[in-house]
Amino acid sequence: MQRTKRMILKGVHVTEKASVIQGLVDAESNPCLKRCKTPKFVFVVDPKANKSEIKKAVESFFEKQEITVIKVNTITLPRKKKRVKGTRKMGTTDLVKKAIVTLKEGDVLNLEA
């Protein structure tokens, strides 16, 4: 079964660190940060998806905005041990994979649309 773009992209990863990465393009305070001219966005993706599938899914999902993905970096977070509610047994959390997507310079990605 072929995975669709909805199956690959789970959603946007909204944390403080992700918002810092997204805001590096507009940073004016530090000369080092001015060098980052390519916008970056963080997505939660399917753990089995590879970089080329993620690139195609992002470009097709936001095809109306006409963006070009230059680079995809992935991070697979390890499972954490958690106690199962109501028992003494230990279980694990689901596997989480994040993708940091770098767009072409000048591209704008509107996540609200």
pLDDT in tens, 38-67: 888 899 999 999 999 999 999 998 888 889
| Full set of structural domains in the chain with CATH | 5-103 (3.30.70.330)
pLDDT over 60 at 1, yes or no: no
Confidence (pLDDT) at 111: 73
Residue type (1 letter), 17:
K
Q: Which amino acid is at 24?
A: L
CA atoms of 8 and 51, how far apart (whole Å): 11
CA distance 33 to 44: 25
State pLDDT tens for residues 19-33. 878 777 776 666 665
Residue 34 has what pLDDT? Answer: 59
Q: Tell me: pLDDT of 6 over 80.
A: no
Predicted TM-score (pTM) of this structure: 0.80
